[in-house]
């Protein structure tokens, strides 16, 4: 019986986390422009319980909207660490995947999830609001099924992440 309630609490918690996702979009790159349309009346992401919040303490999702150079990576890591635990990271656009058009730049990092665990990527050189909404829905399913465990991975192999970060930030 006790096992079952533990399971039940977990599923209820996940359901709640799914239904009320608060996001902080750290407008690093050119993807930030995609978010106002998703928030406003045409696509209205608030239907799914998503709301934009200002401080890292209150947020659940960290959106990395575009290319991430070394300088902003340092700030993004601080924000990520300040967020409270069940936290998820969504990488916007191809620049977070493999450096995108800045593949040869000396400043832009090529792969987001080497430095902070990314739960979800949205391909496209700046995905349209529909893509963003579908990404969010996909994230909800991940949360529901419990697979969105980026923050656990970060905690588990913290040394690996820290090593990569030190290699880049110096």
Positions touching another protein (CB under 8 A) are 13, 16-17, 19-20, 22, 26, 40-41, 44, 46-49, 53-58, 60, 70-71, 74-76, 78-79, 82, 84-86, 97-99, 103-111, 113-114, 167-170
Task: Report, in Å, the least distance between residue 80 CB and another protein.
Answer: 10
Q: Could you count the other beta carbons within 10 Å of the beta carbon of residue 67?
A: 24
Task: Report, in Å, the least distance between residue 44 CB and another protein.
Answer: 4
Residue 12 vs 33, nearer CB to another protein:
12
Residue 75 vs 162, nearer CB to another protein:
75
Q: What three-state secondary structure class fits 18?
A: helix
Q: What three-state secondary structure class fits 17?
A: helix
d(CA 107, CA 152): 29
HSE of 80, CA atoms in CB hemisphere, 13 A: 23
Task: Report, in Å, the least distance between residue 127 CB and another protein.
Answer: 18
Task: Report, in Å, the least distance between residue 3 CB and another protein.
Answer: 19
Residue 1 vs 41, nearer CB to another protein:
41
Q: Are 50 and 21 in contact (CB under 8 A)?
A: yes
Maximum distance among all Cα pairs of the chain, rounded to whole angstroms: 57
């Amino acid at each position: 019986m006790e096992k079952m309630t533990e399971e039940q609490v977990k599923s209820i918690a996940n359901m709640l986390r799914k239904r009320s996702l608060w996001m902080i979009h750290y407008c690093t790159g050119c993807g930030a422009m995609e978010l106002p349309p998703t928030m406003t009346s045409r696509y209205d992401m608030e239907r799914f319980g998503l709301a934009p919040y200002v401080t890292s303490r209150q947020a659940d999702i960290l959106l990395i909207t575009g290319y991430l150079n070394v300088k902003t990576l340092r700030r993004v890591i601080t924000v990520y660490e300040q967020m409270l635990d069940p936290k998820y990271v969504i990488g916007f656009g191809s620049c977070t995947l493999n450096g995108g058009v800045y593949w040869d730049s000396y400043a832009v990092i090529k792969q987001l999830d080497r430095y902070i665990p990314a739960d979800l990527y949205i391909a496209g050189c700046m995905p349209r609001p529909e893509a963003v909404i579908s990404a969010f829905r996909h994230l909800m399913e991940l949360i529901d099924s419990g697979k969105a465990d980026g923050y656990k991975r970060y905690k588990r192999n913290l040394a690996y992440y820290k090593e990569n970060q030190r290699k880049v930030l110096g």
